[in-house]
Structure 1
Amino acid sequence: MDYNIRGENIEVTPALREYVEKKIGKLERYFNNTSNATVYVNLKVYNDKTSKVEVTVPMSNLVLRAEERNADMYAAIDTITDKLERQIRKHKTKVNRKFRTTGSTADLFDFTPEEGTPQDAVETEENDLEVVRNKRFDLKPMDSEEAILQMNLLGHNFFVYTNAETEVTNVVYKRKDGRYGLIEPN
């Protein structure tokens, strides 16, 4: 595996680079061919002394991605390795169930680029996109502050409403940093 380790507001020391390569290198046991693999690691340090680690592993059939915030950079790297390992195991289990009757799953964690998507993979993706629940409701005209209050009362991560001023459908959502976002159509 090749490692592309980048630091923002932090110098990537040889010890830190070695630790990242050692921890993420443990994931190689899940892959067939790692000679073409590139792991993108972004290490950030913020003014409040918190650290953020982002890891992206692009593959031919899947992109593994995880991020973790922690006061200790090394603890964040440990946690992100666990997250990636859970993602891999979850995906392998899901794939093994689907391909139990069709044959080998050996090429699913391959890093070689593909020319096209096989028909079986397209059918699998279509099955994964099945709608399991359908809800209908009237959109009440309101402003974004009222929509945020409604969202919090319901305990949801997003809320769809009609903007009272523009009479256009908008969406408010809760961001990972605890603040709120607003999606408006053009």
Structure 2
Amino acid sequence: MKFIMTGKKLDIGESLRDHTSSKIDEIVNKYALEPIDCSVIVTKDGYRIITDFDLHLGKGINVRTHSEADDPYVSVDAALETLEKQLRKYKKRITDHHKKRDVEYVKTSAQQYVLDSSSESQELEAPVIIAEMNTDIPTLSVGEAVMHMDLSNSPALLFLNGSHGKMNLVYKRADGNIGWVDPHSAS
């Protein structure tokens, strides 16, 4: 596993780097995972320390966590605790996912745009595009899409439904539940 730990406005010492690396190794060994890479960004924002983890497990599965604390060790440990909770919740599905989806994992290319919401002279017909990039839309079941969205800590996930091949959307609702948009079933 490739491990990268960087600090923004903060010097990451060997002690914190070794502490984080050993904790990640414990978690990976505990859940019998073979991650491709792990990146950790520790940022100092005033008096707060913000830690962001991104653990790439392959086959489109990224586990992302975020934590804030007054101390770097406390912040890293809180993010690792959240990471472990997510892995514990989806342990069986993640390990089964690797075995049964090796050949079937399919992605469709699409164009992704980032629009400038702060532009004062925005017209309804032509919003200001500030970034344009390619993105992949995975083919998943609804349960797998919810798992991917939850693990990646995203508010929504667009996917091709494996049962009928149409675009679907799962999203986190304001009440804490998961919403699912399936235009195929609305006939």
Normalised to the residue count of structure 2, the TM-score between the two structures is 0.52
Q: Equivalent residue for 1:173?
A: none
Distance 1:95 1:9, change over 3 A: closer
Q: Equivalent residue for 2:106?
A: 117
User: Using the alignment, how far apart are the partners of 2:28 and 2:73 within structure 1?
Assistant: 20
Identity of aligned residues (%): 18
Matches within 5 A, 1:1-186: 1-29=1-29, 30-34=31-35, 37-47=36-46, 49-58=47-56, 59-93=58-92, 104-107=96-99, 116-117=105-106, 122-124=139-141, 125=145, 126=161
Q: CA deviation at 1:66?
A: 0.4
User: Using the alignment, how far apart are the partners of 2:101 and 2:23 within structure 1?
Assistant: 19
2:59 touches 2:105 (CA, 8 Å); kept in 1? no
User: Using the alignment, how far apart are the partners of 2:22 and 2:32 within structure 1?
Assistant: 16
Q: CA deviation at 1:12?
A: 1.2
Name the SS of the counterpart of 1:122 in structure 2. Answer: strand
Distance 1:74 1:95, change over 3 A: closer
2:106 touches 2:139 (CA, 8 Å); kept in 1? yes
RMSD: 3.6
Q: CA deviation at 1:92?
A: 2.7
The structure 1 segments of at least 4 consecutive aligned residues displaced by more than 4 Å after TM superposition are: 93-96, 129-132
Normalised to the residue count of structure 1, the TM-score between the two structures is 0.52
Q: Of Structure 1 and Structure 2, which has the larger fraction of its residues in helix?
A: 1
User: Using the alignment, how far apart are the partners of 1:38 and 1:92 within structure 2?
Assistant: 18
Count of aligned residue pairs for this structure pair: 119
AA matched with 2:6: R
1:53 touches 1:67 (CA, 8 Å); kept in 2? yes
User: Using the alignment, how far apart are the partners of 2:87 and 2:17 within structure 1?
Assistant: 23
1:50 touches 1:70 (CA, 8 Å); kept in 2? yes
AA matched with 1:122: T
